[in-house]
Structure 1
């Protein structure tokens, strides 16, 4: 069998021929077919270079993209696969061609640019791993078989939990950077303030509106955007550390969960699955549940990663989407610190993507809590006994792109002024088909002109992106007046009506006459209540 040859072998043979070696001897010594070597001497391109015209993104643009990735890595903002794909599709928009890239475009891009490779950046928390055992989970499921629990309808089965996000904590995961470095340092947006939220989902796929808990003594109107339509029904509060307290947990139960999860028949029982946080175990919390025919089912310690629906299917995509939107926003705002307004905007978009019917029901199914199936958590790879089992991964298979077919009739050619690199490439192909004379100088000229067009297109994409950055930065640095949000004497939480009023008092919003009777009734006492 003939030994395969490489591009390095061809280059060495051409160098030897240039030094005086005969073609026959070079073909024999380097194992290269005579026709291949002859074609290369006459200016034919390699198979790899010859296929460059079939790429959706021109080589000069890919080269610029690869250089940009290396620069972003040096700045601590390594891009993800998703961000690179979006930038590539922005370049395609300028070309006026197919607006989408293939499923395996990233894979091919990395092959064409070996100095770039994919690396994983993540944190590992092993604090919970020893709590999930077969014995503990089996005992927990015995509680679900109790008569008082067993017959509760799925629409009355709920799971609540609190999670937190660092306001400026960007995206973990796969990023692109130099193949010569093993690890990547990821630059995070400026703000490091902690904000938490309470989410609650039912076994039938319903999600209650959230409670957002900021870190601070009191709520401030400047934390909120002027447009609050997307936060209708949300509740907001502030605590010293940005986490729930005993009083916050009780208020959430009374003002959010009990009214929003009310069953169609008032006498029907409800089940609330939650962790053993201290705020859930107070006498007042349990008394309120008792008064409303609600049963509390506490998860065993350190088992939420296999038993809690929110952890299994909601919080991970929720935080992933949040960080994606945050990273996108950070790239637009440059050095502007990420604040609470941006947190709300990113979190609201993330909720729309993560809290879907499919995700919610998948979490309940994966936990085995509904439909009830203890085999689900017991067979989980996250269970301690199963953690060392071998896992076989299969690479996804994608269809090849269809071949480009040309049907050119020289008599109908309409020559127009080229506007982009793809026009130059098209006219070069037409010239080769119309005029069979092989002129290397003409081919080189076309390649040079096309390269110049492609480079200008890439610069235009970057310029548009920079304009968008500056516009966003200008909006963010406009100073806002500070004003505390006043809450009702009967509640620790603030809804958008109270935020509206605070914005009016700060001069950030004008009174809307049509809503003044119902929303903007002023308080003549002149006092306010601070939430400690």
Structure 2
């Protein structure tokens, strides 16, 4: 592979134009003389000369490379195979043959600014308006599950049963909110083969903008995610200026990383920002201030429905009604903007999620430093004393309760007796006793099963051969001297001892 760039060739040609010989210029810039002579004759660079043979034009390559660079800076760089699949999706729309693996790799090699992602600062993302920033997520609700709480009843009973109306069918919902406090229509995902008419109330006016679908397990699928993107998100968030870019913040679910989903975003100028794993409770606005009030409001509406009509079955029809009322109560502009603010996604503030109570350590009761077992000693000396004391104790694996108690007493002498330490010892002792009991019960079961196996084992019959020197004989049976109603019969057995 050549070790010179196009800039080196241009500088060498400029030097030749100023009077430098071709041989000297080729030596200084490390370029073959044949290459410089061909350029002087008017030959073009290789990528320009063979551009007509490329499957993608220069503008298409530049556009795709820019999108990949932005996605890489956001933390989800597309793999080479995924990029080739994305290119093939583009070519299917132009009715041309698919790209080969070699063609896709060559494209990435031509775009040198993609290597190692030098441009990590993405001004395109920072320039996106608040009205074009969105967060989407999926949640689930049991149709007939009400709220928890205290109830009133007679003091004569220890517990009271409360009826829960309806079924326990699972229904998923995809919600999306903007940084300006706007909520998009939801996508309701039922569990079933197809959406049925009897699932909906008679008056569908409040739900005209909603979308409904059905899957086998009631959760989103790859096709469902694309359906939401094309039928809900893109039409509802179309900016007034078609050149404006939209940002969609979402989790790393597998349905969001498919080629169809990413290609649709690519064609509609939608940049994807994937949240890190296990951080949605801190970084996702929907989880922060929307889903909690939404589910609480739904359970409240479900409880009111059960109180007014205990015989009402909360099926899919009443689920839509209760969820519609819950959305009006929970998906308010105030709650949505609060979620964006406390996650630090808008206005952008890195300190917001870092100061979350879910991430901060409770400093009200500072932990005792490791190795600090003696007051008045430094950390190093305390650690050395701790190591010396523990090595002097004859530790061994306890096998009985008494041995465990001895170990605990030795440990208490080495360290200050604290409440947490005593609690730990009690839990260990309890677990030790439970395991010992389980082991004893299991041992007895094993012995009983072994006895049953021995008893049921078939044994071969074998005649016992008597020794000719020893014979046991019955000499007869006779009644007592005076027979009566209670005559006792005696057996006289005489054995010949040999």
Q: So what's the TM-score if we normalise by structure 1?
A: 0.44
Instruction: Give the number of the structure with larger relative contact order, counting CA–CA contacts within 8 Å between residues 6 or more apart.
Output: 1
Q: So what's the TM-score if we normalise by structure 2?
A: 0.47
Larger Rg: 2
